Amino acid sequence: MTLRKRFGRAVPYVLLIITVLPVIVGYFWLILSSFSISTEGLRSTGFTLSNWSFLRGSPFGRGYPSIWKVTLNTFVVAIGMTIAVIVVSSLAGYALSRLNFPGRKSFLSLTLILHAFPSVTLLIGIYFVLRTLKLYNTVLGVGLVMIGFELPFGIWLMKGFFDNVSWDMERAAMIDGASRLRVWGEIILPTIKPGIAALAIFAFISGWNAWLIPKTFTIGAGQQATLSVYLENFRGDTVAVQWGAVTAVGLFQLIPVAIFFIFTQDLLLSIYAGGAKGGT
Tell which residue, 152, 175, 20, has the closest CA to residue 93: 152
Angle at 153 between CA 260 and CA 94, to 5 degrees: 100
Tell which residue, 69, 70, 77, 72, has the closest CA to residue 204: 77
For residue 98, state whether it binds other proteins (rule: CB under 8 A): no
Q: What is the DSSP letter of 188?
A: I
User: Closer to other proteins at the Cβ: 56 or 277?
Assistant: 277
Partners of 47 in the β-ladder: 36
For residue 176, state whether it binds other proteins (rule: CB under 8 A): yes
Shortest Cβ 157–other proteins spacing (Å):
20
Tell which residue, 191, 104, 211, has the closest CA to residue 155: 104
Cα dihedral sign, 107-271-269-262: positive
Shortest Cβ 95–other proteins spacing (Å):
18
Q: Which of 25, 110, 172, 255 binds other proteins (CB under 8 A)?
A: 172
Q: Which of 83, 95, 108, 174 binds other proteins (CB under 8 A)?
A: 174
For residue 185, state whether it binds other proteins (rule: CB under 8 A): no
Shortest Cβ 230–other proteins spacing (Å):
42
**Polymer length of the chain:** 280
For residue 237, state whether it binds other proteins (rule: CB under 8 A): no
Shortest Cβ 277–other proteins spacing (Å):
9
User: Closer to other proteins at the Cβ: 173 or 210?
Assistant: 173
Residue 108 near residue 96, CB atoms below 8 Å: yes
Which residues of this chain interact with other proteins, rule CB under 8 A?
A: 166, 168-169, 171-179, 182, 187, 190-191, 193, 278-280
